[in-house]
Structure 1
Amino acid sequence: MNLLDRLDSYDYELPEELIAQVPADRRDQSRLLVVNRQTREISHHTFAELPEFLNRSDLLVVNNTRVVPAKLVGIRASTGGKWEGLYLRDEPEGCWRIIGKTRGKLTVDEEIILSPASGEPTKELLKLTLLKKCEGGEWIVRPQSDRSTLESLALFGTMPLPHYMQREAEAKDFERYQTMYAEHPGAVAAPTAGLHFTPKVLDECHQRGVARAGVTLHVGLGTFRPVKVDELAKHQMHFEWCDLPTGTVESIQAAKANGGRIVAVGTTSVRTLESVASQGEFAAWQGETNLFIRPPYEFKIVDALLTNFHLPKSTLLVLVSTFANRELILKAYQEAIDHRYRFFSYGDAMLIL
């Protein structure tokens, strides 16, 4: 098996104390590791310095998805046992697709009862009737409510922080686990590279002649699921819904015509752009993608990448390594560890030029 096809080629040792449990005091106070693919130079900065590395006519492409309060906690009506779950997406006929865990085995027609996430005393409850079990432990359920999905989640759900944060969501997470340009609800995890932006940083980018355009990719359950095969070619990538609007296509074409770079903010923006480009004609598109970017993939649209630090042996680390070079990325990760950078969702950022 080729070295680049092996999952264990994308592994590294991370001290547990470097896993960020809370965000930086200010979004743009995060650190920024800058990696130059041509010179292989690695330098250390703060995120507030990002505009200095961008040029006139460059285009920032951001993922404007909005995280929904998808984490659910309830009890099984039949046993009174605790149940924890995650809303994944809407299904036809007013149903939801969810995943959950509880003691014992769930059965069709069983009910889960949710109480408001605020914990305030109320008579209002939400019942979820289990209709069908799907692959991967997922279920199709019918919520017994006249509310819209977003209204129900706002009342009964909370922010779905990743498991490695080892804490429950707090009030501040409803703001900080959301990009400042979040617009279209549907994600169950944040596109974390965008969490560092502030109005000041974006304004400085604009003053330098750097434009911004949006795509939407609703980050799904696959973000939390580990790769379970040793050979990357055997990994079945998860599907995620994405949207590349006409205006963004036109902005990309204009930037490239003017000699600018397409700077993807986050791996989700990369997957959206490259998914469309891989289909042939680069034009406006909506649909589901399961594109797994791994060697020897050749990038068609993205020229530079802003991203956070990713978990060992993850598809996201494989994507970043494909973009830059595996040895260079592992060297950069080790330097980040040596300099005590903060890792994962609330951690620091890396700019690959």
Structure 2
Amino acid sequence: MKLSEFDFDLPEELIATRPARPRSSARLLLAQGTAIEDRIVNQLPDILQPGDRLILNDTKVIPARLFGVRHRSGEAGETAARMDVTLLEPRADGAWSALIKPLKKVRDGEVIVFSDELSAEVVGRGDGQGYLQFNLKGDDFDAALNAVGAMPLPPYIAGKRPADEADKQDYQTYWARHSGAVAAPTASLHFDGPLLAALAARGVEFTHVTLHVGAGTFLPVKVDDVRDHKMHAEWGEVTPQAAAEMNATKAAGHRVIPVGTTALRLIESAVQDGKMQPWTGPTDIFITPGFRFQMADGLMTNFHLPKSTLMMLVSALMGTDNIRAIYDHAIAESYRFFSYGDSSLLLPEQEGAND
């Protein structure tokens, strides 16, 4: 399976840098097998069926992008270097792994100051990352981080404009609950209060799971044979209640539809022999064509980067040729792509879609 099989040409102007307003006014490409319709996200109550269960990732994005200064005293006097830090994930020892630019400008033991309240000591490094021990913990750390941190926008947005105050709301889901992600589960960004109320009135049910999305979601695939790619592990949880709800929906003959690839990857990690199991821990599941889906009956998802692991995932769900036709249609109809872009609802044929 070659990486080139998941490539396509995307016009630069289709990359969204701001979301639709209101959220649920974004366009929705509805693909049922090979049939394609152009719809709007707020029409989901007309599309979904009573008894369908949407799986929602309730991770909360932290404002993980920090700008600080490293001071150093020497024979030539005091020097300062500006540091650009993106937090990645907490470590078992209480430190954070982080991307620090430029890493070569700071030494272990030195302190990076982000504000009068927040600073961090560099306590180690490895694999191109630095390890930071912050001066605050718990609620004090959260408050200081929220005061000075910026949302860690994906590179394809951050390269076009800096993050601002609007992103602190725009890049967070309506139901965000458990802090820990450094990227949003972006399919969920299309939901707002009125849409959720309309779906509930339709008889659609909801289950919350947690997968803390890491920066690895943006890492490019660098191998020609995709089977050699190693996924970045991310921490997730499926509670016993969530597992029971999904199993009950399946037993009743209704559909389980994850909102976003993160929710899909988590539930397919936790399912065993067709039954959802409670799960807590890391998953590095890599879904490519040929994968046998045991729990997901469809997927709501945005449009993904060429040659990305997420293109491989949607190809596994819908079939490679079918996804190529879906993306050709999206480009021809000027759908907006990536994190702040439009969405799709992918519903494979009941048999043969995963061949």
1:21 aligns with one of 17, 22, 29: 17
Letter in 1 for 2:316: T
Structure 1 residue 149 displacement after superposition: 3.5
Structure 2: stretches of 5+ with no match in the other structure: 73-78, 348-355
1:213 and 2:204 matched: no
> Contact (CA 8 Å) 2:87, 2:96: kept in 1 or not?
yes
Query: 1:54 is matched with which residue?
Result: 48
2:244/2:276 contact within 8 Å kept: no
Among residues 140, 143, 147, which one is paired with 1:151 in the alignment?
143
1:30 paired residue number: 26
After TM superposition, give the deviation of residue 152 of structure 1 in Å. Answer: 3.1
Partner AA of 2:134 in structure 1: P
The SS at the match of 2:38 is strand
Which whole-Å CA distance do the structure 1 matches of 2:316 and 2:106 have between them? 41
CA–CA separation in structure 1 for the residues paired with 2:135 and 2:290 = 48
Q: 1:36, CA displacement in angstroms?
A: 1.3
Could you list the per-position Cα deviations for residues 216-250 of structure 1 after superposition, in whole angstroms to 9, with x for gaps in the alignment? 00000111211111111111100100000111111
**Distance in 2 between the 1:55 and 1:90 partners?**
40
What are the within-5 Å matches in structure 2 for residues 268-287 of structure 1?
268-277=262-271, 282-287=276-281
TM-aligned CA deviation for residue 254 of structure 1: 1.3
Deviation at 1:146, TM superposition (A): 5.4
Displacement of 1:85 after TM fit? Answer: 1.4
Structure 1 distance, partners of 2:308, 2:183, is 15
Q: Deviations over 1:276-309 (max 9, x none)?
A: 1259863211100011111211001000100000
TM-superposition CA deviations, 1:307-348 (whole Å, max 9, x none) = 000111111111111111111111111111111110000000
Task: Confirm or deny that 1:162 pairs with 2:158.
Answer: no
1:308 and 1:350 in contact (8 A); partners too? yes
Q: 1:255 aligns with which of 249, 258, 282?
A: 249
Q: Which residue of 2 aligns with 1:71?
A: 65
The equivalent of 1:107 in structure 2 is 107
Asked if residue 139 in structure 1 is aligned to residue 130 in structure 2, the reply is yes
Alignment partner of 1:321: what SS? helix
For 1:35 and 1:114, the matched residues in 2 are separated by 47
Structure-2 separation of matches of 1:347 and 1:223: 17
Instruction: Please state if 1:43 is matched with 2:37.
Output: yes
> What is the SS of the residue equivalent to 2:180?
strand
Is the contact between residue 246 and residue 276 of structure 2 (CA under 8 Å) also seen in structure 1? no
- Matched letter for residue 273 of structure 1: I
**Structure 1: where are the runs of 5+ without partners?**
116-123
User: For 1:42 and 1:146, how far apart are their aligned partners in 2?
Assistant: 50
Contact 2:103 2:130 in 1 (8 A): no
Q: How many residue pairs end up in the alignment?
A: 338
Q: Is the 8 A contact 1:71 1:87 kept in 2?
A: yes
**What residue is the counterpart of 1:183 in the other structure?**
177
Q: Work out whether residues 81 and 103 of structure 1, in 8 Å CA contact, stay in contact via their aligned partners in 2.
A: no
Instruction: Note if contact 1:10-1:313 (Cα within 8 Å) is conserved in structure 2.
Output: yes
Establish whether residue 223 from structure 1 lines up as the match of residue 214 from structure 2. Answer: no
**Identical amino acids, percent of aligned pairs:** 41
Counterpart among 182, 187, 192 of residue 186 in structure 2: 192
Preserved contact between residue 25 and residue 41 of structure 2 (Cα < 8 Å): yes
User: How far, CA to CA, are the matches of 1:109 and 1:297 in structure 2?
Assistant: 47
Cα 1:260–1:324 change in 2 (3 A) is same
Q: Counterpart of 1:231 in structure 2: which amino acid?
A: D
Root mean square deviation, CA, Å: 1.6
Task: Specify the SS of the correspondent of 1:94.
Answer: coil
What is residue 82 of structure 2 aligned with on the other side? 82
Q: TM-score, normalised by structure 1?
A: 0.92
